[in-house]
Chain A
């Protein structure tokens, strides 16, 4: 296991370096002068020169790259042009809300998906199965930037049950978490159904039933338990989709997280902050994939031998 873990971590390092290089290149893709794009065409030449100096754009490219990598290693992501504070500090303040929202979305997705998938598998080919799978297909096809406003229209505006936007109370979590978790729930429900249908065909299930165990006990205590490995893997691998989803969900519901910070930074042309947010999300995503791979290899020794 240790050898597998070392090899897997070693493979991640060049990917992270590539990600960092691509994010570094972003500011150099800005058409024309990035300093002019940030300050405006009518900015005084002295201000432009000062900003170029602050961003290090007046240095040769290799020097900029070396400084950038050195900064990353020491946790220095530069200075936000808009807020005049360290980028790392701005991101740090928003990790909590984004992590809470992502976790809540995962919980919502699992709470919806498992019962839906189990019902569909138990009533395979019948009306309940078709209804559950149609619902999940709708969930996959419904973009969160539509589902969010739609839920707000019904649950906040028509019924007045939940706040439309903002944060601070448990009620504020409901709409963003459901919006963010719906697509994952739909995908997990389909996955749960597929794996459970396969498990229910296994001989140990027939044997358990023959020994007189109730159907619900066989499903929950035996078949569903064995279906969990692929389901847990999908949950881990879908974290990327959830992270990207926070960008839109946080924007819709004015949630004070990293996704909203990124969109605000784009609006202000605060390129150092844009770079910081993109890099942070990508690094979290790569790290989570690494963790999922390691956990999966730990659970299933065959993976290590491949």
Chain B
């Protein structure tokens, strides 16, 4: 039930992000300065921001940014993490130890601290946010895949493939890594929520998407200056973030229950 609700939320936001900017009547960049900070009305269902721009149109364009960051960060992190974790788990020995120490160092930075530091020195931009989030994001997948590979590599069918002379790359690509797919897909779904919050956090701190491009994080940051006179600037993007994050969390939990019924 909750899984379907989550998938529905993600689908609606995804569809809005995909086609919304083309079919919406309002221009997300048009400034109607006399109407700045206007409350929701028929013409502008979510009101106008501090520069008189339509909040609904900017919210829909911001969804595109959030989903883009989520998909790219999770996609690249999961791919890199699976490859590194697969190599570490399968090779073992000094390769595993060297990669393990690298992962330990990256995991020693709490939360998005390293991402904040990287964007701080590289300069604020969407590309640098993606780069920074991938830099910290792949480690979780690598740890997960390494653990799975340690189990899978001892299974009979993998041993049989190895005994029949299959090269290592083929063994990893065709026999070992596919067995980790379900665990990675659950983590990736839940990771979308994490990536979306991380991007919004960085944008909120002024380190992410730069104006005039809207992001839910920058919209929230802009709303902080108008808590007294226009609280809708804070409420609207916040609700959007919570709904989308809940959607991915619901979907991820449901996927985990389906792929591994013991977890529930």
Nearest residue (CB) in A for B207 is: A266
Taking CB atoms, residues of chain B closer than 8 Å to A19 are 105, 108-109
Q: Which of B104, B114, B117, B238 contacts A146 (CB 8 A)?
A: B238
A286 CB–B CB distance under 8 Å: yes
User: In the complex, which residue of chain B has the Cβ closest to the Cβ of A154?
Assistant: B231
List A233-253 residues whose CB lies under 8 Å from chain B: 239-241, 243-245, 247-248, 251-252
Contact A247 B205 (CB under 8 A): yes
Asked if B121 contacts A27 (CB within 8 A), the reply is yes
A153 to B232, CA, bound (A): 10
Say yes or no: A285-B108 contact (C-beta < 8 A), given A143-B241, A149-B224: yes
Q: Find out whether the CB atom of B110 lies under 8 angstroms from the CB atom of A143.
A: no
Q: Does A51 contact B (CB under 8 A)?
A: no
Interface of B is mostly: helix
Asked if A153 contacts B234 (CB within 8 A), the reply is yes
The stretch among B20-28, B78-86, B196-204 that forms the contact with chain A is B196-204
User: Does residue B144 face the partner (Cβ distance < 8 Å to A)?
Assistant: no
Chain A residues within an 8 Å CB radius of B201: 143, 145, 248
A138 to B247: give the CA distance in the assembly, Å.
11
Given A248-B205, A266-B120, A274-B117, A149 contacting B227 (CB threshold 8 A):
yes
Inside 8 A of A143's CB, which chain B residues have their CB? 197, 200-201, 238, 241-242, 245
Indicate if B220 sits at the interface (CB-CB under 8 A). yes
Give the shortest distance, in Å, between B126 (CB) and chain A (any CB): 16
Residue in B102, B118, B231 whose Cβ sees the most chain A Cβ within 10 Å: B231
Contact of A141 among B106, B207, B246 (CB under 8 A): B246
Say if the beta carbon of A212 comes within 8 Å of chain B.
no
Minimum Cβ distance to chain A for residue B46 (Å): 16
Number of A-B contacts (CB under 8 A): 128
Please, which residues of chain A bring their CB within 8 A of the CB of B116? 247, 262, 266, 278
Query: Does residue B217 face the partner (Cβ distance < 8 Å to A)?
Result: yes
Shortest beta-carbon distance from B188 to chain A in Å: 17
Q: Is the CB of B228 within 8 A of A157?
A: yes
Shortest CB distance A181–B (Å): 15
Determine if B108 and A278 form an interchain contact, defined as CB atoms under 8 angstroms apart.
Answer: no
Count how many chain B residues have C-beta atoms less than 8 Å from C-beta atoms of the other chain.
44
Mark interface residues in A99-138 (1 if CB within 8 Å of B CB, else 0): 0000000000000000000000000000000000000011
Contact A285 B110 (CB under 8 A): yes
Q: Is the CB of B242 within 8 A of A141?
A: yes
Question: Within the assembled complex, what's the spacing in Å between the Cα atoms of A140 and B194?
Answer: 11
The digit string for B195-221, where 1 denotes a CB below 8 A from any CB of A, is: 001001100111100000000010011
B121 and A26 contact, CB distance less than 8 A:
yes
Q: Does B137 contact A (CB under 8 A)?
A: no
Contact of A22 with B105 in the complex, beta carbons under 8 Å: yes
The answer on a CB contact under 8 Å between A150 and B249 is no
Contact indicator per residue, chain B 223-239, by CB within 8 Å of chain A (1) or not (0)? 11001100100110110
Asked if A261 is at the interface (CB within 8 A of a chain B CB), the reply is no
Chain B residues with CB under 8 A of A262:
116
With a cutoff of 8 Å between Cβ atoms, the chain A residues found around residue B224 in the complex are 149, 252
A272 CB to closest chain B CB (Å) equals 12
Given contacts A145-B200, A271-B121, contact A157 B112 (CB under 8 A): no
A18 located at the interface, meaning its Cβ lies under 8 Å from any Cβ of chain B in the complex = yes
- Please name 6 pairs of A and B residues whose Cβ atoms are closer than 8 Å in the assembled complex, sorted by A: A137-B246, A143-B238, A243-B111, A247-B205, A266-B116, A266-B205
List the 3 closest A-B pairs by CB distance, nearest first: A240-B110, A244-B111, A18-B105
Q: Given A145-B220, A149-B220, 16 other A-B contacts at CB below 8 A?
A: A18-B108, A21-B105, A30-B122, A31-B123, A140-B249, A141-B193, A143-B242, A145-B201, A239-B110, A240-B110, A240-B111, A241-B111, A278-B113, A281-B110, A282-B108, A285-B108
